[in-house]
Amino acid sequence: MDTSALATSFGARLPDWVPAELAEVPDVLPTDEDRIRLVNRLAERNHREDTGGPFAALVVETGTGKIVSAGVNLVLSSGLSSTHAEVVALSLAQTRLGAWDLGSPDGPDLELVVNWRTCVMCYGAAMWSGVRRLLIAGDGPELEELTGFDEGPMREDWAEQFGERGIEVVRNVLRDEAVEVLRGYGERDDAVVYNARGASAAH
């Protein structure tokens, strides 16, 4: 075959407002509330800036609260359907640290912080990344009800399955604030639901 038309590389880049916003943030985020407050703010801003859906994620050192990376949903701006906030934050942490395994015994324990329970893709992405803790504002039907996004076929025992792989799950931190971010997106007239054809739209 003629291989000249094939793409041989791909990538994604954060919008400039993300590092600009982070420049205003303290060096460390000591509490779970501090961490969730920031992902909620980034998730809200991501859709208001029209750079993607209302989702953000951080990779943070669990012990110190040092921010290793920040990601937002980039599906619309990168043109890559896998660039959910979690994949972006994990990939940026791995790029910064130069290692695919964020659970290396040589480094500090790292966690993934997200403003809602992961979809089924990011569930696996978190599982394979080496993080040792998943901190989410909430889980439950509000995401699908308020935004129209499909989370995909998750198992009932999804949290226990993390536990069996040595990953702690912490949830229900500033959950109401996270719901308001999702609601704000769902109320937009121009909300784009960029997943499977079978998913119902928000409007």
Q: Could you say which residues in the range 95-124 bind its own copies, by CB under 8 A?
A: 95-96, 98-103, 119-124
User: Contact between 17 and its own copies (CB under 8 A)?
Assistant: no
Question: Rounded to the nearest 10 degrees, what angle do helices 120-129 and 85-97 cross at?
Answer: 20
Distances (CA, A) of 14 to 18, 47, 52, 69, 144: 7, 14, 11, 11, 26
Between residues 69 and 175, which has the closer beta carbon with respect to its own copies? 69
User: Contact between 189 and its own copies (CB under 8 A)?
Assistant: no
Q: How far apart are CA 33 and CA 15, in angstroms?
A: 25
Between residues 1 and 190, which has the closer beta carbon with respect to its own copies? 1
Q: Could you say which residues in the range 64-93 bind its own copies, by CB under 8 A?
A: 67, 69-70, 75-76, 78-82, 87-88, 90-93
Window contacting its own copies (CB under 8 A); options: 41-49, 107-115, 165-173, 181-189 = 165-173
What single letter denotes the amino acid at residue 140?
Answer: G
Residue 172 · residue 138 · CB < 8 Å: yes
β-pair partners for 28:
66
User: Contact between 2 and its own copies (CB under 8 A)?
Assistant: yes
Between residues 19 and 63, which has the closer beta carbon with respect to its own copies? 19
Q: In the set 48, 140, 155, 187, which binds its own copies (CB under 8 A)?
A: 155
Residue 36 · residue 113 · CB < 8 Å: yes
